[in-house]
Amino acid sequence: MRIISGILKGRLISFLKNSNTRPLKDSVRENIFNIILHSNIIKTKIKNSNILDLYSGVGSFGIECISRGANKVVFIEQDKEAANILIDNINKLSINDKALIHISKIEKFLNRNIDEKFHLFFLDPPFLDFEFIKILQLIKKKKNFKKDHLVIIHRERKSKDKFENLLEIIEIKEYGRSKIIFGELT
């Protein structure tokens, strides 16, 4: 797995492939960043932003954000094996000053009294996990988002998620088995 663009362009990151995690393909990740960069309807930009990378796995999305100029990325991963690889990736790339890693359940992290507001949220839950809707509801309730924020969700193409009164969909893109949903919390 490689970093596509920015100051870390071309550098490799380690990944884990097991039944609990699945890496975001380089081509899908590249398309996500192209949409953010070139879309006329997406206001949020990566540079100088604070990002919450939920279900972060080995960190490919958040690390790409750091490479492209993000101010800070908070990684949340509960799988210890994936989190250890994430820590190794952050150390190997010497980006510790831009990364905060929490090895815990997302709800536990969000239920702490955090006042921080984020520009961008990336959610990549397991395809069979529908609890991520509760995560979005919690973020909305706690108002942990900036005015011009962006939520990006990676789902299985055939998933039938319900976002009424929660997320205003900006755009949906499909790549093979993946569906990428871009939206804003309402």
The count of other CB atoms within 10 Å of the CB of residue 2 is 13
CATH code for position 178? 3.40.50.150
| Cα distances (angstroms) measured from residue 116 to each of 10, 51, 70, 122 | 31, 10, 15, 16
The total of structural domains in the chain comes to 1
Position 124 in a domain: yes
Tell me the average pLDDT across 119-144.
91
Position 7 in a domain: no
Q: In the structure encoding, which two tokens stand for residue 169, read together?
A: 């969909």
Show the domain range for 101: 27-185
Position 1 in a domain: no
Position 144 in a domain: yes
- Give residue-wise pLDDT tens across range 52-86: 999 999 999 999 999 999 999 999 999 999 999 99
- Give residue-wise pLDDT tens across range 136-180: 999 999 999 999 999 999 999 998 888 988 999 999 999 988 999
Amino acid at position 23, single letter: P
Position 65 in a domain: yes
Q: State the alpha helices, DSSP H only, in the chain.
A: 26-38, 60-67, 80-92, 106-111, 132-142
